[in-house]
Structure 1
């Protein structure tokens, strides 16, 4: 119930719908019991089992409530029908129809109001999960499969609605229906009701035993669903490579193995779950059978119960079966929902290691420079940077070069605070970036990466991502600086053209120029370029490099470069090896030193 309580806190904003649901469920349960109880005096009168009363009975206290109710109904039927028994029959039918109509109206109203609560909670959990997914650091997703996260926000949240939130419909209605029905049953025959309740704990024990392993089986099903969704996500992302390497059959086999496991796990789960209904129904009919024997004996042999009361009593006993079965299914739902809630709450309750201080500084200007002092950082166990220091003065272009794995991209990730340093300080204008609000830090920085990450939207909306209120003129000006305006103008719908999922309708160079236009429009004082030209052909590289040079004018730029020809004009070139600076200076200066930088330049020249 721990997870159930945690999910219930999302229902607090919708408590008025919950209270209305409870109110109408009380009325439903009451009329559900009354609809059967009303039959007793009617049957007595119609079939001449009771002497007709011509004067109204007197109420003598709660102890004689049953007799008063039966005598009063006898009196009303007698008054209405007189000597015409068919009029009495019409009254019986009319009263039963009215009671059942009211019962079903109240049932509908109870379900009507709970719908707003259920769907509201579903919406709020999904919204909070999406917000959390955005807030969690990039490192979180290096440990989690994307498909598994998608499964949690879709099917797991839906499972919570089907299980936990469905219980809210049952938690008041079904117990109250049972309680009101049992009260009426006690009023009719306490002896018969006590006899029935000897069998109920036995039935409950059997149902409980069936459901014990349900949570474990459900957890396996949901985890496997996350796995095959991950395979689908990876397949769609890498379809070109899969086809190029004729790896369709390999991926199909991996997917098939996952769905095969899902098939077996689901079968076990559903077969266990499906056992609840027939077991509950058989146990209910068993109780009815015992009732027929014991009650029939009371009517026919002992003469301690009249036939009309026994008929109504059997109707009430059967009336308990439906809510009892619903509660039995609900207990299975709790176990199944537990597994889903655990997976959803794991994300919602994950603590973000990149914490913003309570009174974080909102910094709007950049004045002197970036300082990296004695920084050490590791992704897992091995340090990528150790005791690393670097000064980036305002207005300068600092290029980071070195072999793969030397720590270049790590520095970009630390400056933008996608990760936090393990030791040391990164400061902007002498202020530790941990003291800045994440929003103001990222407002000060622009990022252009090697992989042009674009979204399935129009050209305009992709460029205006960091500045939603940008005017048409500002968007076009940014596109012109990025050498993107010409190709955008040639698109079928210009700036309104949809670029497809991840920009698949554009070439690599076009995508990169849109990324640059996006950064230009944001107009940050600090620009981080992470191997922005490494994946381009010569013609695209020339256009992109020209766009980058335009963008970097009058800005502080940190350039991570793979192609050394693109950073020869940098103010400072920093050469990294295994997270340490081995050389730094201008291009001519470093070439004259004939050290690691010159070797890198010569290797690239030879390769080209």
Structure 2
């Protein structure tokens, strides 16, 4: 999935919220534009200069003022001032509602992306995890998804700002298309200069994502292997490694802050220069129409001045989008299903073993490897019998065992359960009937009861005790401080190795 496709897909997930955001942005722009146009005549009226300038007002302003012609002259100024206050109030209400809707969109999008990512991680084959770092995956779900939602939010805000600018630009064109050409030229030069900042921001965004991924992976590895770290007295080395990653990340964030902090003053200086250039060039163009020019220029500069903050927002949003583009690319690749291995599902529901299991001419090699791990294995396991596989390390004993729960499928041959191809069974119904005690025992940081019930949540207390007794675990469970409700720590660290295996 391309990053652009992810952005479009994300927006299409919540069309109502997106459309509402655009409508509110447009409404705020209209209220802002109307309020701005009314400021000049009110100021001139207060200064007693309205009659002198009114006949030279631009057509768009005269159109707005005609609305107030039916109001008695003694109340006209009050009505116009009240209209400005009303427009400002409506604009702020629109902006407030827009912020709420944008926040809701941001939260819902983050939730949906994380759910989609978790769904993929739970569905994908084990081979995917053997090629991925768990710290990277956690970083994708947390940091990169958050930055992606920021990118989508900025994209929606960008649309609102563009709508606002379009409204103001329309007012400027109607007021004076000649002055608008001058403004476009001066502001276009500013946009070209901003492109340098945007490219640098994108490069820093890529660096930040890389450092964040490296930091998350290293922290996870250190915490997962904390016993090894302490047993080898390697705490200082690990701290130095993590400290270097933290400092590198801080430096990248500082450089990003330098860019973002510089955008506002740069835009302000550029805006002042653009206003001055517009006034000077306009004065030269209208040198023979000074009376007309003064009223047009005042109106034009007022609208342009009100427009400048939105141009600053536009440049800031462009820089922020460039900074988070890398995260969008990472998440879009993370959410792809076509490049990940998924185990095929059968349609048969598995109930119980009737006769036996047949490894029928099994050969296996790991994906993207040429070396065969198993070759032409033919083995039959009758029901009720115990089988021990004996061989040197690396002979393929664990690999053969991994084929039975379908962690992998044979490269050649097939596994038959009661004469039926294992691939025909539904994976969930089949695996629920398996009991596996691996060499690397994993237990959750929860109570004994919660760990025992993990594979079968609906089991009764009697079934729980019966299973623990058959595994020779009930005796030591009773001796624990809180029995079945005793918390056993991360990976069962509070239990002995033998106790963990029996659980």
The alignment's TM-score, normalised by the length of structure 2, stands at: 0.90
Residues 371, 390 of structure 1: 8 Å contact kept: yes
Higher relative contact order (CA 8 A, sep 6+): 2
Report the alpha carbon displacement of residue 409 of structure 1 after superposing the two structures with TM.
0.7
Alignment counterpart, residue 205 of structure 1, candidates 164, 171, 192: 192
Report the alpha carbon displacement of residue 221 of structure 1 after superposing the two structures with TM.
2.1
Alignment counterpart, residue 161 of structure 1, candidates 136, 143, 149: 149
Q: Which residue of 1 aligns with 2:3?
A: 3
Q: Distance in 1 between matches of 2:462 and 2:7?
A: 48
Structure 1 position 190 matched with structure 2 position 177: yes
Alignment counterpart, residue 442 of structure 1, candidates 401, 410, 431: 431
Q: Which residue of 1 aligns with 2:341?
A: 353
Q: For structure 2, which runs of at least 5 residues remain unmatched after alignment? A: 53-57
Report the alpha carbon displacement of residue 460 of structure 1 after superposing the two structures with TM.
1.4
Q: Distance in 2 between matches of 1:119 and 1:219?
A: 24
Report the alpha carbon displacement of residue 340 of structure 1 after superposing the two structures with TM.
0.7
Residues 207, 279 of structure 1: 8 Å contact kept: no
Alignment counterpart, residue 313 of structure 2, candidates 326, 332, 352: 326
Q: Which residue of 2 aligns with 1:72?
A: 67
RMSD: 2.7
Residues 42, 81 of structure 2: 8 Å contact kept: no
Q: Distance in 2 between matches of 1:259 and 1:361?
A: 52
Q: Which residue of 2 aligns with 1:399?
A: 388
User: Tell me, what secondary structure is at the counterpart of 2:402?
Assistant: helix
Q: Which residue of 2 aligns with 1:504?
A: 493
Residues 357, 416 of structure 2: 8 Å contact kept: yes
Residues 21, 156 of structure 2: 8 Å contact kept: no
Report the alpha carbon displacement of residue 29 of structure 1 after superposing the two structures with TM.
0.8
Q: Distance in 1 between matches of 2:487 and 2:459?
A: 18
Q: Map Cα deviations across residues 244-289 of structure 1 (whole Å, 9 max, x no partner).
A: 2111222223323433443444444444454443333332222122
User: Tell me, what secondary structure is at the counterpart of 1:211?
Assistant: helix
Q: Distance in 1 between matches of 2:475 and 2:7?
A: 53
Q: Distance in 1 between matches of 2:350 and 2:465?
A: 28
Q: Distance in 2 between matches of 1:413 and 1:423?
A: 15
Count of residue pairs the alignment pairs up: 497
Residues 30, 177 of structure 1: 8 Å contact kept: yes
Residues 113 and 139 from structure 1, CA distance in 2 versus in 1: closer, same or farther, beyond 3 angstroms?
same
322-331 or 487-496, which deviates more: 487-496
> What aligned pairs does 1:195-594 form with structure 2 within 5 A after superposition?
195-295=182-282, 302-305=289-292, 307=294, 310-350=297-337, 351-357=339-345, 360-379=347-366, 380-514=369-503
User: Tell me, what secondary structure is at the counterpart of 1:440?
Assistant: helix
Alignment counterpart, residue 105 of structure 1, candidates 64, 89, 93: 93
The alignment's TM-score, normalised by the length of structure 1, stands at: 0.76
378-387 or 96-105, which deviates more: 378-387
Q: Distance in 2 between matches of 1:430 and 1:271?
A: 69
Alignment counterpart, residue 118 of structure 2, candidates 127, 130, 137: 130
Report the alpha carbon displacement of residue 100 of structure 1 after superposing the two structures with TM.
0.9
Q: Distance in 2 between matches of 1:445 and 1:285?
A: 74
Residues 385 and 216 from structure 1, CA distance in 2 versus in 1: closer, same or farther, beyond 3 angstroms?
farther
Residues 493 and 125 from structure 1, CA distance in 2 versus in 1: closer, same or farther, beyond 3 angstroms?
same
User: Tell me, what secondary structure is at the counterpart of 1:367?
Assistant: coil
Greater Rg over alpha carbons, structure? 1
User: Tell me, what secondary structure is at the counterpart of 1:375?
Assistant: strand
Q: Which residue of 1 aligns with 2:24?
A: 24
300-309 or 33-42, which deviates more: 300-309
Report the alpha carbon displacement of residue 470 of structure 1 after superposing the two structures with TM.
1.6
User: Tell me, what secondary structure is at the counterpart of 1:126?
Assistant: helix
Residues 488, 495 of structure 2: 8 Å contact kept: yes
Q: Map Cα deviations across residues 78-117 of structure 1 (whole Å, 9 max, x no partner).
A: 2515xxxxxx3x5444332221111000111112122222
